[in-house]
Amino acid sequence: MKNFFFALVAILATLAISLSLQAYAQKTEAQANNSIIVSTEWLSKNLSDKSLVLLQVGEKDEYTAGHIQGAQYIAVADISTPRGEGLALELPPVAQLKSAFEKLGVTDKSHIVVYFSKDWVTPTARVFFTLDYLGLGNRTSILDGGLPAWRAEGRPVTNAVSEPKQGNFTPKPNTKLLVDAEWVKVNLNKTGVMILDARAPQFYSGAEAGRGETGRHPRDLLPHRTTSQLALLRRPLSRIRRTPLRRIV
């Protein structure tokens, strides 16, 4: 009976440790997947993770010349409405987006990390936004500093292209992330609505035409562009603390 008691205690202790380790692993995975920004150090340690899907944004020849091991090249055109069928960079149907990301290996269990090759910060944000729209935002991160930071730290790159395994995921479009021109027209002058123009200053002012478009709406606010990321975030949005807002577009 005494031996049985000790055996039972050992079994229960083993079970408790197992459950604790499982809970810790799940917590760690959740924290990683919920982090919008990941460091080069984190990525280096997780390159062999089978759930990792690494996407490089930029010029194709930059990807061909050198990319992080296992990374796939994603063209913004692949997740935009085809030219001649809609506005430039307009989101296409969900079926097209699903197909584009599945070809790159994305599944419901993927942890997707997006990074830019040089200075393609805005297109990288567009890829993140698209994944967020599809319901994968909590499984998507952006590499802090992109490929330039990776290279600056002397980390390895390769020109070998690996064939991605066909992915499969269930899109869960978050329509609250998008508004159309009609919504803007109706809500533009309402209290609590702020319109931010994220284009370059020369397009905002009308000094240059961007794809044939010049100028802006009178109520558009241009975010200040500085070398400091913190300033970039703080300055244009400082008004939010002083103004009760219910929607930022």
Output 115 or 4, whichever has higher pLDDT: 115
Residue type, 158: T
Query: So what's the pLDDT on residue 56?
Result: 97
Beta strands 111-116; 140-143: pairing state: parallel
Mean pLDDT for the stretch of residues 191-208 = 73
pLDDT of 71 over the 80 cut: yes
Adjacency order of strands within the sheet including 37-38: 37-38, 140-143, 111-116, 52-57, 72-74
Output 180 or 141, whichever has higher pLDDT: 141
Compute the distance between CA of residue 237 and CA of residue 194 in angstroms, rounded to an integer.
10
Query: What is the pTM (predicted TM-score) of this model?
Result: 0.73
Mean pLDDT across the chain: 76
Residue type, 95: A
pLDDT digits (tens, 9 = 90+) for 210-241: 555 554 444 444 444 333 344 444 555 555 55
Sign of dihedral through CA atoms 182, 184, 190, 191?
A: positive
Mean pLDDT for the stretch of residues 171-178 = 89
Per cent of the chain over pLDDT 70 is 66
Residue type, 164: P
Output 57 or 162, whichever has higher pLDDT: 57
Residue type, 108: D
Residue 176: pLDDT band by 50, 70, 90 thresholds? confident
Query: So what's the pLDDT on residue 34?
Result: 55
Output 182 or 136, whichever has higher pLDDT: 136
Give residues with Cβ within 8 angstroms of 40, minimum separation 6.
Answer: 143, 144, 145, 149, 150, 153, 155
Mean pLDDT for the stretch of residues 152-177 = 93
Output 27 or 237, whichever has higher pLDDT: 237
pLDDT digits (tens, 9 = 90+) for 123-148: 998 999 999 999 999 999 999 999 99
pLDDT of 195 over the 90 cut: no
pLDDT of 66 over the 60 cut: yes
pLDDT of 246 over the 90 cut: no
